[in-house]
Amino acid sequence: MVTRGNVVMLCALALLTLGVVMVNSAGMSVAPVGETGQLAPGVDPVTFQSILTSRPSLYAVVAVVAMLVCGVLPTRWLERSAGLRPSHALAILAAALVTILALLLAVYAPGVGRSVNGAARWIVVPIAGSLQPSEIAKWGMVVVIACGAVASGDGLRRFRGGLPILIAVLCLVCAVIVVEDLGTAVLIGGVGVLVLVAAGMRLWWLLATVPVAVAGFVAAVLSSPYRVDRVVSFIDPYRDPQGDGYHMIQSMATIAGGGPFGRGLGHGLQKFGYLPEDTSDFLFAVICEELGLAGASLVIALYGVMFVALAGIVRAADGPVRRLIALGVLLTVAGQATINLFVVTGLGPTKGIALPLLSAGGTGWVLTCAALGLVAAIDRDTERRAVTLGGVREPVAA
Amino acid sequence: MISRTDADSSAARSGTLLWIALPAILLALTVVVVRVGWLQIKGDPRLAYHGAGKGVTLVRDAPRGDLLDRRGRALATSRFVYQPIADPELIPRPADTWIMRVSESLDTPPEEIGVPVAEALAHNDALRRSGTDDDSGPARPSTTWRERAQTIIDTFMARVNAGQATPLQAIREDLSVHSPRRYLPIGNAVDQATATSIKEHRIPGLFFERRAARTTIESEDVYGLAPLIGKVGVDENGRLGAERFLHSRLEGEPSRVRLVRDARGRSLWMQRGENESGERGEDIRLSVDIVIQRIAWEELWRGVRDADAAGGRIVVTDPRSGELLAMLDVVRDVHAEAYAWPDKEAPVTPGERLWAEEASSGHRFQTILQSPKGSEPALRRQRCLTDAYEPGSTFKSFIWASGYDMGLMPEHETLTTTNPYRTPYGRLLADVTRKTGHTWDQVLERSSNIGMAILSERMSFGELHEIVDRFHFGERTGIGLRNESPGLVTPLSRWGNYSQTSVAIGQEVAVTPLQMVQAFACFAQPRGSEGVMPRLSMLARRPGYDGADLVERVISAEAASRARGVMVRIVESMDAKMKRRFPGDPEPRYVLFGKSGTAEIPLIPPPGKRRPRGARGYYTDQYNSSFIAGGPYEDPRLIVLCVIDDPGPGRVRQREYYGSDVAGPVVRRVFERVLPYLGVEPSPGTDDAETGERPATIASRAPTRTMSETNER
């Protein structure tokens, strides 16, 4: 029987496989050919073997392993946070916060941090290469907020309970991230607040924070000229087609060039220097160009099926911590995918946010798969408990 | 510690949140699919514009077909040249040294290189400055919060008010204005060897672009063929003459390869299904023969100079196929005054009337309308095509033969009218000849105006008008060249007694030389086809062409044969005069038949002008003298028409301005040179013929023999 967790993992595997293929396709470049038609020394053509041995394939293997490992982890221990004393919970929260902040600030440390295209988002890791602390913060905050919210118990409903602490933690993390990556900060903040609402935070408190959040967002935009450019270019990308509007126009032109069935795998044109960030943020445009509307629909369908399965796991999850974690994972993946898809299709302002499981990025793939594996593990434990208690299991797929 | 109730509450809240979030997420995904479909299927032309630059179509011109004369000799051919192109962005600064280097290499004055290069460099520099100074181009974000917010609001409101974002036209203009100039043709095109030599110097920013260039054979303006051959533009499109008329067949099909390029301009691959192999344009043989054209050129110039004429025209055709073998129009500088045409709206003044009376004698005016577009040979008017003239007596042959067909010329009738003769409606006509008592054959032979007037009196207006129509006077020959004149024929509604008489003697009708040779061909058909008229063609006919699809009968074979026979005696008379004037000329070897014509030149005001009050309808003592002939008599192979425009005053004073005086010798000499070139044996009975008889003997016998043959039929 195929459980919801299995569906999630299968969808993730399918997206990941497609991601490996498309990242390799989008990463094609032009190699000089000699008069005899031979490639220059040291230049290897793209072959099936080269794809299998490529760095994205390696990341994908690591991601699948992480998903499988997390998928077999016992999740009952997560519920122990509900029984922690507030002082212990606070200590664990503080430790997690310090760790996350340390990682986030490490990008500015000489010799540790690494800048790409002027953005300091990476830290150097021996052997693994580099990783994105904001990715760790994104998933870490889901767990921290879920555990913290449950540990706060009734305090979450009192303004002077644990809520202010959680909000403060959320704001602090977001404030650090927003310097380099507003999109991820908005995603983490939004997911954190929604998890808090699900955990018991009163809704009107959320509504009360909306003006503050909007004001903060507006301030973040207006404080940065390049963000103003992005908003303006979203409203009218053709106003400066060679400048601020370039990303959006090229992305839409890439999609438009695909047609119903695409130009064919590997036959995209825009990836050859016209479409920026073609292997990462704008990979979906390359999919649309090479695989057409059919390929795009397949990707969307895989996401849709995965989200429905995740929602089922959230509903059935046994225990508030696991439920909130599953909810956080769902909202994070769905939010990230939606933002990326909106940006790529010109429905939202340009934002450097990756498409989960597809866009190139070792850290993103590994941590997303790990998170989805954890949710699958939650589903497995839920199923086992249901069987143990003699409950009725609902098959989700035949 | 969390209680059971709290856990239930958390589950309920999560469930509620999912009820909201999941549909929202799925809706968002659906919106994305719809958006992708919209972009891919409906699209936006602005996106197509931005996506169109990914490929480049390499067009390799196919050579344009050659224009050949009827024997395959090249008249216009294509070759490839190399146009120097500068990329100002790659020119080292300061550019002075570069300009001097390129100037020396291309052997071009430095200013011709320097001026456009300096302009392009200034444009590009200004563009760069504007990009950094923020004083043009797309608006940059402002520096204060308030201004930034205002920028967003303004853009949003502009979008809302305009209904859509910046239109494509504005994008194009913006890109053109804000793009640096990187393609600058400089100097003249050079040949391949020169281009290769210059390339070896590796001058930065200098490239060569291969282009096709048309070369017209340069030989005395191809003996006046330039207006017929025409001209191509820099884009190799036919603009004038045969180049224009035959463009669709001459132009090659260029090969096209669509290459996909990356953003750095490196070629990636060829687009599937977008490779087209090219094909050279068709080589086309025109009907003209460059040797015949040269002969016509030499003899016409000789005739024009002999006659001290202002110009001359000559057309040579093959009467069987209607092929145009030569066509030439020359204009000579003579001491002639410009006629003082008053403006159309100008009031009549007493001085004008006096001037018109005074100008009616002793003046030689410019009678040939000058070509307006300068000295470019291909731009000159080809007057055989564009300028109609009064044919005078040459026109009588058509009326005479038609009258014969109508039975209006009894075999044994002799016209015993006085000279001059007053028509029933009171018009006084005179013949040049002093002889009286003409038979109908003699009416044509002596070119009797009186006889033709009497003939016209026996026809109705409609019948005479129909004869003119039947020979296609008043309509273009459709040879394919632009600006062909249809001539001038008085419409039947305005036809009267005066027209009836005038047209019968070749007045009140204007024809082009082309119309004349086309019509005259009916007298020059081989046995069995006499009386049919072919359509003229400037293309060489296919081998074995019988012309059946392009001929029509205009008179009976009997009438054509009889007229041909009578016209032999006209040429004989012309030959006798010619022998007196040019005793050194060799004896004629071919028996010809022909007709001369002399007509006053009408005063036709140019556009916007009018004829002065008190002026006659014609220039005084200024004539168009023409002679049209076919030959050899026994099996015609050529028709030659020569028009001598405005023979000089000296010739007029000596009364040697008639067609048989000034145009006839030209026609005779052309026949005597062209027929041997065509391999035509001399006529029987001439000095060169095997019979050893004198040509005059044969010529004298010819019509008699023809008439007896006619009578036998």
Kindly provide the ipTM of the predicted complex, given to two decimals. Answer: 0.90
Q: Inspect the interface and report whether the beta carbons of B51 and A338 lie closer than 8 Å.
A: no
Contacts of A259 in chain B (CB under 8 A): 40-41
- Are A232 and B141 within 8 A, CB to CB? yes
Interval B131-157 mean pLDDT: 60
Residue of B7, B31, B37 with shortest CB distance to A293: B37
Whole-number percent of chain B with pLDDT over 70: 85
Instruction: Name the residue facing A338 among B25, B39, B141 (closest C-beta).
Output: B25
**Looking at the domain assignment, is residue A35 inside a domain?**
no
User: Between residues 326 and 345 of chain A, which touch chain B (CB distance below 8 Å)?
Assistant: 327, 330-331, 334, 337-338, 341-342, 345
Which residues have CB under 8 Å from B357's CB, separation 6+? B614
**Distance between B140 CA and the closest CA of chain A, angstroms:** 8
Q: Is B198 helix (H, G, I), strand (E, B) or coil?
A: helix
CA–CA dist A249, B48 (Å, integer) = 10
Average pLDDT, whole number, for chain B? Answer: 83
Q: How far apart are CA B590 and CA B631, in angstroms?
A: 7
Q: What is the dihedral of CA B264, B266, B270, B276, to 10 degrees?
A: 100
Q: What is the pLDDT of residues B368-382, one digit of tens each?
A: 877 665 556 777 788
Residue A280 and residue A21: Cα distance in Å, rounded?
13
- Could you read off the pLDDT of B222-271 as tens digits, one per residue? 678 888 888 887 777 888 888 998 999 998 888 888 877 777 767 777 77
The reply to whether residue A236 touches residue B138, judged by beta carbons under 8 angstroms, is: no
Q: CB contact, 8 Å: B259 with chain A?
A: no
Q: HEC states along B615-680?
A: CCCEEEEEEEEEEEEEECCCCCCEEEEEEEECCCHHHHHCCCCCHHHHCHHHHHHHHHHHHHHCCC
Interface of B with A in 12-71 (CB under 8 A): 13-15, 17-18, 21-22, 25-26, 28-33, 35-37, 39-41, 43-44, 46-48, 50-51, 53-55
For residue A39, tell me if it sits in a domain: no
- Is A48 within the bounds of a domain? no
- Nearest CB to A82 within list B1, B47, B48: B1
Q: How far apart are CA B17 and CA B15, in angstroms?
A: 5
The pLDDT score that the predictor gives to residue B5 is: 55
**A-B Cβ pairs (cutoff 8 Å, strict):** 198
Comparing CB atoms, the residue among A200, A346, A347 nearest residue B6 is A200
Contact A320 B21 (CB under 8 A): no
Q: Are A235 and B156 inside 8 Å of each other by CB?
A: yes
Whether A64 shows a pLDDT value over 90: the answer reads yes
Integer Cα distance of B299 and B642 in angstroms = 10
Residue A132 belongs to some domain of the structure: yes
**How remote is the C-alpha of B395 from its chain's centroid?**
26
- Per-residue confidence (pLDDT) for residue B573, from 0 to 100: 92
B160 in contact with chain A, both atoms CB, cutoff 8 A: no
Greater model confidence, B80 or B670:
B670
How far away is chain A from the Cα of B152, in angstroms, using its nearest Cα?
A: 5
Q: List the 93-122 stretch of A: residues with Cβ below 8 A of B.
A: none
What would the pLDDT profile of A352-384 be if each residue is shown by its tens digit?
788 999 998 888 899 999 999 999 999 998 888
Cβ distance of B263 and A272 shorter than 8 Å: yes
Q: What are the pLDDT digits (tens) for A291-342?
A: 999 999 999 999 999 999 999 999 988 888 889 999 999 999 999 999 999 9
> Which of A228, A308, A314 is nearest residue B152 as measured by Cβ atoms?
A228
Residue B291 scores a pLDDT above 90: yes
Q: Is residue A204 part of a domain?
A: yes
Is residue A168 domain-resident?
Answer: yes
Angle at B444 between CA B439 and CA B446, to 5 degrees: 85
Q: Is A259 on the interface with B (CB under 8 A)?
A: yes
More confident residue, B370 or B449: B449
Contact flag A272-B40 (C-beta cutoff 8 Å): no
Residues in chain A closer than 8 A to B174 (CB atoms): 241
Disruptive mutation site among B16, B47, B175 for chain A (greatest number of A CBs within 10 Å) = B47
Mean pLDDT of chain A: 82
Distance between CA atoms of B489 and B468, rounded to whole angstroms? 8
Residue range B305-316: mean pLDDT, rounded: 95
Place B389 in a pLDDT band, splitting at 50, 70 and 90. very high
d(CA B524, CA B539): 20
* Partner-chain contact A272 B55, CB within 8 Å: no
Whether B35 and A288 lie within 8 Å, measured CB to CB: no
Q: What is the largest CA-CA distance in chain A?
A: 77
pLDDT band at B489 (very low <50, low <70, confident <90, very high): very high
Give me B159's structure tokens: 């979008």
Q: Is A253 on the interface with B (CB under 8 A)?
A: yes
pLDDT of residue B138: 46
What distances in angstroms separate CA B380 from CA B11, B244, B513, B607, one per listed residue? Answer: 97, 15, 17, 18
Average pLDDT for residues B679-696, to the nearest whole number? 64
Tokens 């004149």, located at residue:
B485
Query: Is A90 within 8 Å of chain B by CB?
Result: no
Number of domains in chain A: 1
The answer to whether residue A122 sits within a structural domain is yes
Contact state of B165 with A338 under an 8 Å Cβ cutoff: no
| Torsion angle in degrees (nearest 10) through CA of A354, A357, A358, A363 | 60
Domains and CATH numbers, chain B: 52-73+217-286 (3.90.1310.10), 290-677 (3.40.710.10)
Q: Which structural domain, as residue segments, surrounds residue A285?
A: 4-22+60-388
Kind of pairing, strands B618-631 and B638-645? antiparallel
